[in-house]
Amino acid sequence: MAVGSRGFIMGFRLAGVSGIEVVDAKEALSTVNKLMNDPEVGLILLSEELTSEIRNEINEIRSKKPMPLIYILPSTSAGTKGMDYRAILRQVLGV
């Protein structure tokens, strides 16, 4: 499950990954907390632009509950041109 801005999740949706659009760090943290209790979710992909404010909270969540895995990725607006989100997703999943 991808969590981030519209642009961030759109690439994942095109690759067949579900996404939830959020507008700020507070909403992202709330969404992550909800997803942590969903047994259908094994991986949460977060937009890096949203995590700077909530990094401590994300690390605390990770330390208390190892699954689902939370992985932070650069956003599309981070200035990284040519980023292949499908390749990153394959790398994260080990496929």
- Distance, in Å, from the CA atom of 31 to the CA atom of 36, rounded to the nearest integer, reads 9
Give pLDDT, residue 85: 63
Give pLDDT, residue 36: 94
Give pLDDT, residue 14: 86
Exposure on the CB side of residue 74, measured as CA atoms within 13 A: 11
Radius of gyration of the chain (CA): 12
Report the chain (95 residues): mean pLDDT per 10 consecutive residues.
Answer: 90 88 94 94 90 89 89 68 63 65
Give pLDDT, residue 78: 52
For each of the domains in the chain, give its residue range(s) and CATH number, in order of start: 2-93 (3.40.50.10580)
Give pLDDT, residue 12: 86
Query: What are the structure tokens assigned to 57, written together?
Result: 């909270």
Give pLDDT, residue 89: 65
Exposure on the CB side of residue 61, measured as CA atoms within 13 A: 21
Give pLDDT, residue 66: 83
pTM: 0.75
Query: What are the structure tokens assigned to 76, written together?
Result: 């599309």
Return the sign of the alpha-carbon dihedral for residues 49, 55, 59, 60. Answer: negative
